[in-house]
Chains A and B, each alone.
Chain A
Amino acid sequence: MIDAMLAEAWSALIANRLRSALTMLGMIIGVAAVILMLAIGGGVQKQVSSAISGLGSNLLIITAGSSKQGGFASGAGTGATLRLDDVDAIAHLKSVVAAAPTTQIPVQAVAGAANWATTVVGTTPAYFIVNDWRPDTGRAFSEMEDRAAGRVAILGHTAADKLFGANDPMGASVRVKGTSFTVIGIMATRGQGFGGVDRDDVIIVPLTTALRQLQGNAFRRSIRSISVGIDDADNLAPASERIAAVLRRVHHLEPGAPDDFTVNNLTAVTDTLSSTTAAISLLLAAIGSISLIVGGIGIMNIMLVSVTERTREIGIRMAIGASRAAVRLQFLLEALMLSLLGCGIGVGLGTGLATAASGAIGFDTSVTVSAVVTAFAVSASIGIFFGWYPATRAAKLSPIEALRS
């Protein structure tokens, strides 16, 4: 019985192609929005968690300058207020595992015929500990090489690819601002950071070398930031207070004077990012749900019209032996077919949009099997829920009156 009913439901939808398509529009938009939301939400979640694990979760980053200085706000990282001596003061504090001063210099690096615009990170060996990021080929530089301003470099994967391509960079030399560096290692792949920044596009050199050879004289002993590894996530807040106190003393700041540095807790950043994406997901979910409900009402509406139009048909069916249950099933199947067809198209559209979105915003979106299964389950429920009333109305018709219509 079901096979014939499905065939008939299909032919009923085909008979009113335009009407069926318009009716499905609500479902299509709703499902596409939900699929897109889940894809983006999942992608962002993955992005955030990989960014967090890539950064090292127990990390404080101290940047020079304050977000508020002398009454007007300026960006953190401006000014030359962080000095190498600050690092020693911080490194000995309680809960601090290691402190790595870093300075970042945008450069044009040259290797043989290739050249590439990248960033040189000047730092100490503590950097590899603090960031929990190490070379997977070759080695890191030592304290001695740092102090001796050794001309050695460790390449990020992207920088290695762009400068050397298929050639082996190990032992080769890279020229940066007129200084030659010998490549002694290649860092493990780290992937994208926040906002699609390629964290593998980097050349890491000893801090002393960077300050002397690459940075202007005026900033010889000044650094842009200090990354501080903390032993436990619970100690982040007290440690950042202790660091601030020490820096104020070392910088001879009067009580009441504003900080000339900023201590950033990265978990706060990632928390903000997570809650932002959660808000976006919630918005899309709301749009999706409203659209699905509207789509369901659209289906109910068109099914009511259909029942009215086909009253006589219902009468005929009843006269030749259709039970009320069979009539109800017939119309329910039509509603279900509308909603599931709309869902199928919506899944296709949502997947397409998710793919397009991942290209546009620069990170992976993933349409999961569970999202598709959920979409179909929800659509089926909507089809049955909103199809029930019209189908019941059809089933309740009096065969005599239906035949007379």
Chain B
Amino acid sequence: MTGNPILAPIPAPVLALSDVVKDYVGEAGTFRALHGVSMTVAHGELMAIMGPSGSGKSTLMNIIGCLDSPTTGIYRFEGTDTASLSERALARMRNSGIGFIFQSFNLLPRLSALGNVALPLVYSGLGKAEREAKAQALLAKVGLADKQRSRPAQLSGGQQQRVAVARALANAPKLLLADEPTGALDTKTGAEVLGLFKSLNREQRVTVVIVTHDPEVARATDRVVRIQDGRVFYDGPPTEAALYGHAEVAA
């Protein structure tokens, strides 16, 4: 991107994978989890990565989340080749560039809701007062202003996941990366959490990538990438065929 003097510079996509291969070396030999995956996600997208278990979607998620690195191929986050980043820089990226949301919420049981939301801010070096003010605002945003002092065990599943969403938003990340975010919730609260994602995306232009095998979750998004056997099998709008795995033609 050398930049055109007349046009405003085109912003880099949030993430761009090109020909990403991931091999796992085990006792039984080398296992190739990803066979050259290429995809880009632009700012403000709301999309789902789908695929049956063993398809490689978890591996893909780990690479997108900077928890793992490709064996070959390039993964750019915000235009930066992640292979060039140090461990410390990757941690910083996970801290402020990406917000993780997990199926099982993964809140720290000893910390209050406020403490959990403030945790990423601890690692980005904010002072106590600033952390608490920010965490309070975030909890209010997900509708849990009155649950600041509650421990995760005192909250319902839906409330816990909303705390997790608040935590993921703490450092205003470029990307919200959710792994089966409704998997542990009943249909109604699952729909509420999805609604939260949607409003974050629509109102605050947060880029959301949801990794799921649930067609109903994927249906709520604007784009579906289907992974099968370590390859992109489909990339397009959430049509019935795409959601239920009948689409044969990769876009």
Beta-carbon contact of A1 and B122 below 8 Å = yes
Given A4-B131, A325-B88, A319:B122 Cβ within 8 A: no
Q: How far is the CB of A19 from chain B (nearest CB, A)?
A: 15
Beta-carbon contact of A321 and B108 below 8 Å = no
Bitwise interface map of A from 1 to 18 toward B, beta carbon under 8 Å scored 1, else 0 = 101110010011001000
User: Is A318 an interface residue when CB atoms closer than 8 A count as contact?
Assistant: yes
Beta-carbon contact of B94 and A321 below 8 Å = yes
Residue of B nearest to A11 (CB): B110
Bitwise interface map of B from 107 to 137 toward A, beta carbon under 8 Å scored 1, else 0 = 0101100000011101111001001000000
Q: How far is the CA of A5 from the CA of B124 in the complex (A)?
A: 13
User: Is B202 an interface residue when CB atoms closer than 8 A count as contact?
Assistant: no
Beta-carbon contact of A320 and B119 below 8 Å = yes
User: Is B160 an interface residue when CB atoms closer than 8 A count as contact?
Assistant: no
Q: How far is the CB of A318 from chain B (nearest CB, A)?
A: 7
Beta-carbon contact of A400 and B110 below 8 Å = no
Beta-carbon contact of A321 and B91 below 8 Å = yes
Report B-chain residues with C-beta under 8 Å of the C-beta of A312: 106
Report B-chain residues with C-beta under 8 Å of the C-beta of A11: 110-111
User: Is B174 an interface residue when CB atoms closer than 8 A count as contact?
Assistant: no
Beta-carbon contact of A318 and B106 below 8 Å = no
Q: How far is the CB of B223 from chain A (nearest CB, A)?
A: 24
Given A11-B110, A12-B110, A326-B123, A319:B100 Cβ within 8 A: yes
Partner of A319, one of B94, B96, B110, B128: B94
Beta-carbon contact of A322 and B100 below 8 Å = no
Beta-carbon contact of A320 and B94 below 8 Å = yes
User: Is B167 an interface residue when CB atoms closer than 8 A count as contact?
Assistant: yes
User: Is B87 an interface residue when CB atoms closer than 8 A count as contact?
Assistant: yes
Q: How large is the interface on A (under 10, 10 to 19, 20 to 34, 35 or more residues)?
A: 20 to 34
User: Is A313 an interface residue when CB atoms closer than 8 A count as contact?
Assistant: yes
Residue of B nearest to A324 (CB): B87
Report A-chain residues with C-beta under 8 Å of the C-beta of B102: 316, 319, 403
Q: How far is the CA of A3 from the CA of B130 in the complex (A)?
A: 13
Report A-chain residues with C-beta under 8 Å of the C-beta of B110: 8, 11-12, 15
Instruction: Scan residues 318-357 of chain A and give those whose CB is less than 8 A from a CB of chain B.
Output: 318-326
Q: How far is the CA of A146 from the CA of B131 in the complex (A)?
A: 89
Report A-chain residues with C-beta under 8 Å of the C-beta of B71: none
Beta-carbon contact of B91 and A4 below 8 Å = no
Report B-chain residues with C-beta under 8 Å of the C-beta of A316: 102, 106, 108
Report B-chain residues with C-beta under 8 Å of the C-beta of A326: 91, 123
Beta-carbon contact of A317 and B119 below 8 Å = yes
Q: How far is the CA of A11 from the CA of B151 in the complex (A)?
A: 13
Q: How far is the CA of A8 from the CA of B115 in the complex (A)?
A: 10
Residue of A nearest to B119 (CB): A320
Bitwise interface map of A from 87 to 120 toward B, beta carbon under 8 Å scored 1, else 0 = 0000000000000000000000000000000000
Residue of B nearest to A4 (CB): B122
Partner of A324, one of B91, B111, B125, B128: B91
Given A324-B91, A400-B62, A3:B120 Cβ within 8 A: no
Partner of B67, one of A8, A15, A317, A399: A399
Beta-carbon contact of B128 and A320 below 8 Å = no
Report B-chain residues with C-beta under 8 Å of the C-beta of A5: 122
Beta-carbon contact of A319 and B108 below 8 Å = no
Q: How far is the CA of A345 from the CA of B125 in the complex (A)?
A: 33
Instruction: Scan residues 23-43 of chain A and give those whose CB is less than 8 A from a CB of chain B.
Output: none
Beta-carbon contact of B125 and A1 below 8 Å = yes
Residue of B nearest to A7 (CB): B115
Report A-chain residues with C-beta under 8 Å of the C-beta of B118: 4
User: Is B56 an interface residue when CB atoms closer than 8 A count as contact?
Assistant: no
